[in-house]
């Protein structure tokens, strides 16, 4: 599809979110396409690592495509279908057996940050911007996304990032643990390529085994009530606040939330 470009260069699989006019905001089709691309790259033995990036230089992914919210994220059934596609793609990325690198330049917001946190390593160009605006929209945040955030930055930082919905630059993101490496614009591509070269030079089975073991440490506790987590997320989408958040966003004004 035009909005998601996949290609193989030597031993690297490339996935490019290609909607620069919307700052590469994730559409439903892009979520579905991401899952399909990962299946193809996993089956290709020549691919030793996968790098995800956004088209243009203004955004990695700026979040979900707000234009689709009224149609795809309003009714209970529509939210469930959208969440199945989005969460399925992110879980597929999180569990992908080969090394994954997020190449971040520009905005990395909401669903874009979720995607980046599903990757093994995040490399950001200086000048990039990170934040989770869920609280400003009144939408629900899926449990797996919270898991990935806490795993990356720890509970205190995760609370700060989620509760304040404030913006972080690349240096702050590095200090929080949202990214592992940063680089200035003039050396960014070289830094990313150098890191990829190091990864693909290593033994694939060793990397796969190590990654699988680390993911085992990140598994949810056996007593986690996933049904309850989905229910409290759905409450956000069913709320008056969510409807107000969408209206305020479209009208470019501060939302007036009432907690109901």
Q: Where are the domains of the chain?
A: 4-200
| CB-CB contact of 24 with 61 (8 Å) | yes
* pLDDT attached to residue 48: 94
3-class SS of residue 128: coil
Specify the DSSP class assigned to residue 19: -
Q: Is 117 left (phi over 0), alpha (psi -120 to 50) or beta?
A: alpha
- Predicted local confidence at residue 245, as pLDDT: 83
Q: What is the pLDDT of residues 97-122, one digit of tens each?
A: 999 999 999 999 998 999 999 999 99
Superfamily of domain 4-200: 2-enoyl-CoA Hydratase; Chain A, domain 1 (3.90.226.10)
CA 88 to chain CA centroid, nearest Å: 12
So what's the pLDDT on residue 167? 96
Find the range with the poorest average confidence among 72-86, 154-168, 216-230. Answer: 72-86
If you average pLDDT over each of 60-74, 88-102, 201-215, which comes out highest?
88-102
Weakest mean pLDDT among 44-48, 201-205, 256-260: 256-260
What's the pTM?
0.84
Name the pLDDT band for 257 (thresholds 50, 70, 90). confident
pLDDT at 59 over 90: yes
Mean pLDDT check: name the lowest of 29-38, 128-137, 234-243.
234-243
SS3 169: strand
Position 73 scores a pLDDT of 53
Pairing of strands 168-169, 129-131: antiparallel
Q: Check: CB of residue 99 under 8 Å from CB of residue 121.
A: yes
Q: What does the block give as tokens for 84?
A: 């199945």
Between 232 and 10, whose confidence is greater?
10
* pLDDT tens digits, 170-199: 999 999 999 999 999 999 999 999 999 999
pLDDT at 108: 97
How far from the centroid of its chain's Cα atoms is residue 250's Cα?
A: 23
pLDDT at 157 over 80: yes
Choice among 5-14, 34-43, 123-132, 222-231 with the minimum mean pLDDT:
222-231
Is the confidence at residue 4, as pLDDT, over 80? yes
Mean pLDDT throughout 154-160?
Answer: 95
* Res 70: pLDDT: 61
pLDDT the model gives residue 72? 54
């Amino acid at each position: 599809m035009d909005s998601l470009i996949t290609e193989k260069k030597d031993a690297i699989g490339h996935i490019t979110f290609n909607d620069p006019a919307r700052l590469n905001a994730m559409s439903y089709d892009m979520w579905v396409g991401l899952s399909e691309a990962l299946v193809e790259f996993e089956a290709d033995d020549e691919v030793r690592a996968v790098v995800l990036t956004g088209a243009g230089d203004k955004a990695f992914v700026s979040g979900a495509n707000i234009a689709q919210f009224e149609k795809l994220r309003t009714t209970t059934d529509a939210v469930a279908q959208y969440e199945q596609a989005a969460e399925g793609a992110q879980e597929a990325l999180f569990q992908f057996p080969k090394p994954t690198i997020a190449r971040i330049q520009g905005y990395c917001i909401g669903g874009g940050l979720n995607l980046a946190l599903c990757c093994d390593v995040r490399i950001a160009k200086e000048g990039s911007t990170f934040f989770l605006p869920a609280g400003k929209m009144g939408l629900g945040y899926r449990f797996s996304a919270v898991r990935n955030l806490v795993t990356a930055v720890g509970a205190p930082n995760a609370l700060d990032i989620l509760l304040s919905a404030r913006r972080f630059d690349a240096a702050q993101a590095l200090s929080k643990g949202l990214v592992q490496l940063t680089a200035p614009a003039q050396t960014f591509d070289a830094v990313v390529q150098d890191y990829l070269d190091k990864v693909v030079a290593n033994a694939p089975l060793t990397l796969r085994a190590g990654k699988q073991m680390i993911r085992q440490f990140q598994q949810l506790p056996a007593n986690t009530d996933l049904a309850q987590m989905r229910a409290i997320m759905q409450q956000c989408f069913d709320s008056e606040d969510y409807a107000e958040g969408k209206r305020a966003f479209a009208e470019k004004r501060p939302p007036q939330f009432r907690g109901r």
